[in-house]
């Protein structure tokens, strides 16, 4: 997260300059807090409550996405992480079309970007991802993106140098006097990596949310208060191969409450 500090002696001039810069560079931003409750999670304790902060923005030369999960295990501690843990990702992307001030469009592609992700959390979870990104034109969708990453893990753990394909999407439709929003992403690590620490197996994580705009239905502001569910299917979770002795295939849904601000 970025934390700013004010300096009283310089506040007048700097505030005016920063407002002008923000108006020129920042096109839009969105922030939200979510609460999720679910069970039947794999590997970690079955019952979990999660509080998630999300930030998304689009600026003059690209876009950014950040989320941080605070996960609470209910009834049973995780043997490695205790009663709770955290995990987050930061994904900045730079648009070649916007940097070069020209349209880069062909077929279903409406822009080409340099995509990066930093993954972080407790234990040996740090990873750095980089590769090409694409904004796609798909009729009816609010947006569809596709990032193709090369993963670089921190430390000696396996999972280094493998490829990951990550599409993300958003689709909405009217329902009664409100709207339903379906959005989410898919992380597909397509190959294995093996070293002296073990083997990191190819894995697939599908994570959509289906949300009803309760704020709009109640006559409040639209796109601010959602209720719904988040589905999580993860084959070979954490790159651990599923077996009869150890089930690492996750298939679960969580109740969701989400507030945008």
CATH code for the structural domain at 89-260 = 2.40.230.20
CA 47/CA 69 separation, integer angstroms: 15
Length of the chain (residues): 261
Rounded Cα distance between 146 and 27, Å, is 21
Q: How far apart are CA 6 and CA 8, in angstroms?
A: 6
Q: Which residues contact 60 (CB under 8 A, 6 or more apart)?
A: 24, 25, 26, 27, 98
pLDDT given at position 81: 86
Please give the average pLDDT of every successive group of 10 residues along the chain, which has 261 residues. Answer: 33 40 81 98 97 98 98 88 95 98 96 98 91 98 98 86 97 97 98 88 98 96 97 97 97 98 94
Q: What integer pLDDT is reported at residue 177 of this predicted model?
A: 95
pLDDT at residue number 89: 98
pLDDT of residue 79: 85
Q: Give the domain ranges of the chain.
A: 89-260
């Amino acid at each position: 997260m970025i934390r700013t500090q004010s300096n009283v002696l310089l506040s007048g001039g700097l505030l005016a300059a920063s407002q002008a810069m923000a108006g020129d560079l920042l096109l839009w931003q969105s922030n939200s807090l979510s609460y999720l409750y679910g069970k039947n999670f794999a590997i970690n304790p079955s019952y979990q409550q999660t509080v998630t902060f999300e930030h998304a923005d689009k600026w003059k030369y690209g876009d950014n996405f950040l989320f941080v999960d605070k996960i609470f295990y209910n009834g049973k501690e995780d043997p490695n992480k205790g009663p709770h843990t955290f995990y987050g990702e930061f994904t900045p992307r730079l648009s070649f079309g916007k940097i070069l001030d020209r349209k880069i469009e062909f077929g279903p592609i409406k822009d080409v970007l340099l995509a990066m992700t930093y993954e972080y959390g407790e234990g040996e979870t740090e990873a750095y991802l980089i590769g090409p990104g694409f904004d796609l034109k798909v009729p009816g969708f609010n947006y569809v993106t596709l990032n193709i990453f090369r993963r670089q893990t921190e430390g000696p753990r396996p999972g280094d140098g493998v490829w990951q394909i990550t599409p993300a999407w958003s689709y909405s439709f009217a329902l009664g006097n409100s709207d339903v929003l379906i959005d989410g992403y898919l992380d597909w690590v397509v190959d294995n990596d093996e070293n002296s620490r073990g083997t990191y197996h190819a894995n697939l994580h599908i994570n959509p949310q289906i949300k009803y705009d309760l704020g709009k239905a109640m006559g409040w502001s639209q796109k601010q208060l959602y209720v719904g569910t988040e589905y999580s299917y993860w084959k070979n979770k954490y790159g651990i191969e599923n077996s009869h002795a150890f089930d690492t295939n996750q298939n679960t849904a969580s109740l969701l409450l989400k507030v945008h601000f």
